[in-house]
Chain A
Amino acid sequence: METIKVKINGKEIDVPATMPDPLTGKPTPTTMLQACQLANVFVPHYCYHPKLPVAGNCRMCLVEYGLPVIGADRKPVLNPDGTPVIKKSPRPVIACATPVSAGMEIYTETETVKKMRQAVLEFLLLNHPLDCPICDQAGECKLQEFSLDFGSPESEFIETKVHKPKQVILGPTIVFDAERCILCTRCIRFTRDIVGDDSLGIINRGSYSTISTYPGKVFNNNYTLNTVDLCPVGALTSRDFRFNMRVWFLKETKSVCPSCGTGCNMLIGSRENRIYRLTPRENDFVNKCFMCDMGRLNYKWISREDRLKNPEIKNSDGASKETDWKSAIESVVALLKQAGKGSVAIIASARQTNEELWLIRKLKDYLGALSDCVPRFETGDKILLSPDRNPNTKGAAILGVSAEQIGLNIPLIEEEIDSGKIKTLLVFNEDVAKSVFSEAVLSKIEKLVVVDVLPSKTAEMAAIRLPGCAYAEKYGTFTNVKGRVQKFNKAIEPPGNAKPEYQILSAILELLTGDKYPQTASALFNRMAAEVPQFQGMTWENLGDYGAIVKENPKGGDVR
Chain B
Amino acid sequence: MAKQYRLITKNLINPDYTPDIECYLRHGGYSVLKKALSLKPVQTPDGKTLSPQEQIRQQVRISGLRGRGGAGFSCGLKWSFVRHDSGKPVYLICNADESEPGTFKDRVIIHKDPHQLLEGMIIACYANNVHLAYIYIRGEMTEGAKILQRAINEAKEKGFLGKNILGSGYDLEIYVHRGAGAYICGEETGLIESLEGKRPYPRIKPPYFPAVLGLYQCPTIVNNVETLASVKHIVEMGGGEYAKLGLPNNTGTRLVCLSGHICNPGVYEIEVGKVTLRELIFDSEFGGGLKPGRKLKAIIPGGTSSKVLRADEEVEIKTNSGNGNVEVKKVSILDLPYDFDTIAAAGSMSGSGAIIVLDDSTDIPAALENIAEFYAHESCGQCTPCREGSLWMAKVLHRFNHGLGRKKDVDLLLKIAGNIGGGKTVCAFGDACSWPVESFVSKFRDEFLSKAKF
> Beyond the given A123-B419, A183-B387, A205-B379, could you list 4 further A-B residue pairs with CB under 8 A, ordered by the A residue number?
A115-B419, A123-B389, A126-B388, A205-B378
CA distance A308 to B425 in the complex (A): 60
* Shortest distance between the CB of B380 and any CB in chain A (Å): 6
CA distance A115 to B420 in the complex (A): 12
Chain A residues with Cβ below 8 Å from B425 are 59
Q: Please, which residue of chain A has its CB at the minimum distance from the CB of B408?
A: A156
Binds A, one of B116-124, B248-256, B392-400: B392-400
Instruction: Show 14 A/B contacts (Cβ-Cβ < 8 Å), sorted by A.
Output: A55-B204, A59-B383, A60-B384, A115-B419, A119-B385, A123-B384, A123-B392, A126-B392, A127-B388, A182-B384, A183-B381, A206-B379, A206-B380, A209-B387
Chain B residues with Cβ below 8 Å from A435 are none
Q: Does B199 contact A (CB under 8 A)?
A: yes
Q: Does B358 contact A (CB under 8 A)?
A: no
Q: Does A94 contact B (CB under 8 A)?
A: yes
Contact A206 B378 (CB under 8 A): yes
Chain B residues with Cβ below 8 Å from A59 are 383-385, 424-425
Q: Please, which residue of chain B has its CB at the minimum distance from the CB of A94?
A: B204
Binds B, one of A157-165, A438-446, A479-487, A506-514: A157-165
Q: Does B276 contact A (CB under 8 A)?
A: no
Chain B residues with Cβ below 8 Å from A126 are 388, 392
CA distance A119 to B416 in the complex (A): 8
* Shortest distance between the CB of B249 and any CB in chain A (Å): 22
Q: Please, which residue of chain A has its CB at the minimum distance from the CB of B422?
A: A91
CA distance A62 to B385 in the complex (A): 12
Q: Please, which residue of chain B has its CB at the minimum distance from the CB of A203?
A: B199
Q: Does B382 contact A (CB under 8 A)?
A: yes
Chain B residues with Cβ below 8 Å from A91 are 422-423
Residues of B within 8 A of A (CB-CB), count: 33
B103-124 with Cβ < 8 A to chain A: none
CA distance A60 to B388 in the complex (A): 14
Contact of B426 among A57, A99, A115 (CB under 8 A): A57
Q: Does B207 contact A (CB under 8 A)?
A: yes
Chain B residues with Cβ below 8 Å from A119 are 385, 419, 424
Contact A97 B376 (CB under 8 A): no
Contact A54 B204 (CB under 8 A): yes
CA distance A93 to B391 in the complex (A): 23
Which residues on B are within 8 Å of A, measured CB to CB? 182, 199, 201, 204, 206-207, 376-385, 387-392, 395-396, 399, 412, 415, 419, 422-426
Contact B381 A208 (CB under 8 A): yes
Contact of A58 among B383, B412, B423 (CB under 8 A): B383
A336-379 with Cβ < 8 A to chain B: none
Chain B residues with Cβ below 8 Å from A99 are 206-207
Q: Does A116 contact B (CB under 8 A)?
A: yes
* Shortest distance between the CB of B31 and any CB in chain A (Å): 45
Chain A residues with Cβ below 8 Å from B380 are 205-206
Chain A residues with Cβ below 8 Å from B376 are 206-207
A69-122 with Cβ < 8 A to chain B: 90-94, 97-99, 115-116, 119-120, 122
Chain A residues with Cβ below 8 Å from B384 are 57-60, 120, 123-124, 182-183
Contact of A124 among B382, B388, B399 (CB under 8 A): B388
Contact A159 B392 (CB under 8 A): yes
CA distance A116 to B389 in the complex (A): 13
Chain B residues with Cβ below 8 Å from A90 are 423
Contact A57 B207 (CB under 8 A): no
Chain B residues with Cβ below 8 Å from A55 are 204
Contact B204 A207 (CB under 8 A): no
Q: Please, which residue of chain B has its CB at the minimum distance from the CB of A202?
A: B199
Q: Please, which residue of chain A has its CB at the minimum distance from the CB of B392?
A: A126
Contact B199 A207 (CB under 8 A): no
Q: Please, which residue of chain A has its CB at the minimum distance from the CB of B425?
A: A59
* Shortest distance between the CB of B189 and any CB in chain A (Å): 12
* Shortest distance between the CB of A526 and any CB in chain B (Å): 50
* Shortest distance between the CB of B17 and any CB in chain A (Å): 39
Contact of B424 among A92, A124, A156 (CB under 8 A): A92
* Shortest distance between the CB of A6 and any CB in chain B (Å): 16
A267-283 with Cβ < 8 A to chain B: none
Q: Please, which residue of chain B has its CB at the minimum distance from the CB of A55?
A: B204
CA distance A60 to B425 in the complex (A): 11
